[in-house]
Each structure stands twice: as structure tokens, then as C-alpha cells.
Structure 1
Amino acid sequence: MLHLYLIRHGETDSNIAARHLGHTDIAMNDTGQSQVAKLKQYFKDIPLDAIYVSDLKRTVDTARQLGELFVLTPKLRERNFGIFEDLTFAEIVAQYPDLQKQWQADWIDYVIPHGESARTVFDRNAQAVADILAKHQTGHVAVVTHLGVIRNVLAYLCEMPIAGAWHFRVENASVTRVDIQDGYAVLQFQ
């Protein structure tokens, strides 16, 4: 059996402000640093066989709590929000009202200018996890990534449609464990 640990990075100032933060490479704030320091304790008795990490600073710094040897995996990046990057929903409505309406009308397939669609991100994230599962059928594997990615991965593993990703709440510096055996995923709540 494979124990897959999906770990969200610690808090950032953009998380507090509810900004659409995707590919912008920012650090965690002090609260985020404190949050991820607790991950060492959580994993102290879990022998991780591999750690896969989004290649952005906030996830890399989170992963360092688990060990120095990890695999940078750009496919585990959050959505590229393009011109909506680092804006709040209210700012998007104010600055791009027509584009926001298009996005809301077709949020799965709408491609944000200079960004990507929800479907593109879902497919990219699903491929990243499929690649990981092809390499690891047993053991303990950590994936350090972002809110949207964890939601996408959970929907993918639970064989849900893209819209199913919105059913998962994932806090900063949280750990979501999924046990996978013979291609069947079971969420473990602790």
C-alpha cells in the first residue's frame, strides 16, 4: 500500500488577503513559518521514501521541514492566474469586469489571459500524481504543494469531475493522507 501525504505550504500574506496567488514566487509569512515547523513532529516516525515539491519558494521552504532531499516538480504548481494573478476577487471584478463574467460563466475551460484554464491545471496536476504513482506503489510519499493542486489531486484520485475539487477544504500547512492500493484511493482523516 502507498501512503500519499498531500501537504499544503504554510500561510502567506496573499492567503490572508484572499489573493489569487498562483505562479508568483513569494515566501511564507511568520505564521506560515511557525505552521510548517510543526510538520517535523508529525513526520518524526514516518519514514518518507520520497518528497515531491512544487518549485516555488513557499513549498520548497515547507518541504525543508521534512528533509533536504526532494524532487522539484513544476507540474505541482498552482494555477497560473495570468492577468488575475495576485488580485482579490473584488479587484478582478473592478479591473476586468467583462473577463470576470466570462470566467464565471465557464470557469472550467475559460483561459485567463496570459494564464491557464482550470481544466489545464487539473490535467497537469493529475499527470504529476500519475507519474508519482507509477514510481511508487508502496511506502510513504509526501507531496508538498498548493491549495488548488491538492483539491485537484483529491478529485482525480477519488475519480470525481473537475468541479468535485471544490468539495475539499485544505488549510495551510495541513496534511491530507490518501492510502492507495491497487489503484483504489481511500482518504484517511486523523
Structure 2
Amino acid sequence: MNLYLIRHGESTGNLAGKIQGWENFPLSDLGRRQADLLANYLKEIQLDYIYSSDLVRASDTAKTIAKKKSQSVNEWDKVREVHLGPLQGLSRSEIYERFPETIENSILTSGVVGTETIEELTARCQYVIEQLQRAHKNDHVAIVSHGGFISILLMYLLTGEQWHMLHRPFQIGNTSISHIEWPKNRTKPLIHYINRTGHLDVLTEESANMGLL
């Protein structure tokens, strides 16, 4: 199986500096442009199935990809962002002020009451990988998800149930692509690349030409 983990385009929540979790924020104007560039990049890459979080910022990104490839999107709530309960909709500074325990601990695994627990996240990662390996052993699959969940899923792939005990070093940018492969007759994955965003280089060039950089 070849698996492409893709983060959604910039959302209005990203633009406003809010921690989103399960709250629904649409794509910003830039996010829609990013999704178009992503879709153009993926046009010639084999994708047999496209899955997406059911949150609109991810599903709209996935639909842009699917339209370019004349395919459909399968929405899957198991690849939603981490549920952050009372932290959702707040800025980082607001979270740090109201929940000081998040200063020393990652917002994603803070243990604040009402947020998704480490045990729940571990079970979710295990379920997603098991289902993919069962249904798509020989396929090329894209999943459009979220930065937090993608980074945790990558840690789970590398370290298993100990993922939360180690530093999580991954930077997962908007519309970035991370490519993981399970070669035939092998149970352990190979990571080809993480956080590839070369398809967005044109945005930097456009900004430079407009004198914005």
C-alpha cells in the first residue's frame, strides 16, 4: 500500500489563529488556492481511493483533489483532527492563560478534561492503520486530514503505543503531503517523505512578483 497523508488547506480558523479541533471552519481564500495547486500536483499521481475527515476544511480540500481526478471522496470521521473540547475556538495565548498546564504539555495531549485522551488517540490510530491494511493492501490511498492527527499517526507508525512519550518533531503545513509505503510481503512501513509542499512554491513567486516579499 502507498499512503498519502495530506493536510487540508488554510482555513479561516488557521487565519484567525484559533485552535480548531473538531470545530468546523471553511477554507480561506488562500486555502482554496492551495487546494487547487495541490490538486494539480496530484493529477498525475496514482490514487485509487480518496478518504477525508468529515470536517469541512478537509472535505472541501479532498473534493478539489477528487474533482481534478474525476473520483469520489469517502468521508471518514476516524481521521478527524484531535478533539480538544474546551480548548477549541481559542487562540494559543487564551489557552495558555486559562489552562496553564498546556504550557508544559502539548495542547494535543494536555489531559485537560473534555479533550481526547492518549488512550483514545492510540485506539484511533490503531484502527485506521488496521482498516487500511485490511481494505487497501495493494492500493494507492490518499487521506486528507489535519496537522495534529497526521503528526500523531506518524509517531504511532514509528513507535507504536509509546508515541506520546517521545518528542513529536513533525511540522505539517497546509496541503502538505507525507508519503508512506508498505512494500509487498513486509509489515513495516517505509517513509518516502514528510511535509512536502513544493506545489505551493508558486505562491511565494506570485507574492514576490507583487512586491509582498
* Partner deviation per Cα, 1:113-168 (whole Å, 9 max, x = no partner): 33322442243133223211221112210011000111111112223522447211
Q: Out of 186, 192, 212, which is 1:188 matched to?
A: 192
Aligned to 2:25: 26
Q: How high is the TM-score relative to the length of structure 1?
A: 0.86
Secondary structure of the structure 1 residue equivalent to 2:182: strand
Aligned to 2:134: 134
- Calculate the aligned-residue CA RMSD, in Å: 2.3
List alignment gaps of at least 5 residues for structure 1.
none
Aligned to 2:84: 81
Aligned to 1:5: 4
Secondary structure of the structure 2 residue equivalent to 1:149: helix
User: 1:1-190 to 2 correspondence within 5 Å?
Assistant: 2-67=1-66, 68-94=71-97, 96=98, 99-101=99-101, 104=104, 110-159=110-159, 161-164=163-166, 166-181=168-183, 182-189=186-193
Secondary structure of the structure 2 residue equivalent to 1:75: helix
Instruction: Indicate the structure with greater helix content.
Output: 2
Q: How high is the TM-score relative to the length of structure 2?
A: 0.78
Answer with 1 or 2: which has the greater Rg: 2
**Is 1:79–1:118's contact at 8 Å kept on the other side of the alignment?**
no
* Partner deviation per Cα, 1:67-90 (whole Å, 9 max, x = no partner): 151221111111111111111221
Q: Tell me whether 10-19 or 150-159 shows the greater mean CA deviation.
A: 10-19
Taking only the aligned residue pairs, the percentage that are identical comes to 28
Aligned to 2:207: none
Secondary structure of the structure 2 residue equivalent to 1:42: helix
